[in-house]
A and B are shown apart, each in its own frame.
Chain A
Amino acid sequence: MATTGPSRLRVKHQKDVTQIEFVDRNILDESNIEQIKEEIGDLVDKAPAPGPKLLISFANVDHLSSAALGAMITINNKIKGRKGQLRLANIDPQIYEVFKITKLDKLFQIHESTDAALASFG
């Protein structure tokens, strides 16, 4: 793992689901985004196989950029490649609008709350 500083994530495990929150309110800095991508990629690798289950909460996030969306897509591709499931939750309305504009609301399964996201795993 080529992380460059302290973890950008808060991680907890509930049954077979890896739950992730971001430390940063703004996910804009390219090196931080790269680190987030690597850290979550490692969690996908370590999650119970087959079919890793990840839930990413945006509860603390005020701003993100298209580079952050790109990181989420890369993570989603990796999880799909392992026949896993990704859920996103607690997305602020302004940020949800970014997902809608980019039509990524069609790609990701997005839930209003962590509980709703947890209940949706197959």
Chain B
Amino acid sequence: MARTEQANPDHARISIANKRDEIERAEQRLIAALDKHQYPDAAKFAVRLALEEALVNAFRHGHKGLSPDVPVELEFRVTDKQTDLAIEDKGPGFDPGDVPDPTLDENLTVPTGRGLLLMRAYMARVEYVGKGNRVEMVYKKP
């Protein structure tokens, strides 16, 4: 079960195992915070998509070979102006420069490698920090 170390509608730190119900619960808590601050539907779509992609990357790549019970840590803070998200895994780190551009014609038929592109498209800032196992993202409310 997802552990919540600190919780109010605007700010939370949540440990999430690689289980769909835990991911869904965390996303719903973030959506509730966005609702409280009257983010429009398009904003909720964007933030949820970026979170989903970051979590998939964390579990699929960061936690490759680890038990699905090993949690990823999510922290979010929602204000009337912006939403800050941080997702940290326990993996060896990730270099975003290693990801080929999936929009090149020769890569369009490759089925993987679009998560980071979508995160960058929808977020005002996406940055991998430390050894690359923590991604911080900012969404500016329209």
Could you list which residues of chain A lie within 8 angstroms of chain B, going by C-beta atoms? Answer: 28-31, 63, 65-67, 69-71, 73-74, 76-77, 94, 98, 101-104, 106-107
Contacts and interface: CB of A to CB of B under 8 A. Distances in A.
Given A29-B20, A63-B48, A73-B109, A102 B56 contact: no
Contacts, number: 55
Contacts of B117: 66, 101-102
Contact of A103 (B48, B103, B115): B103
Given A94-B42, A101-B118, A102-B102, A76 B49 contact: no
Considering the complex of A and B, which 10 residue pairs feature the smallest CB-CB distances, nearest first? A70-B111, A66-B114, A103-B103, A73-B111, A101-B121, A66-B115, A107-B108, A74-B111, A29-B20, A94-B45
Range of interface residues on B (Cβ < 8 Å): 20 to 34
B1 interface: no
Contact of B49 (A29, A73, A77, A98): A98
Interface of B: 20, 41-42, 45, 48-49, 52-53, 56, 102-103, 108-112, 114-115, 117-118, 121
Contact of A70 (B42, B45, B52, B112): B112
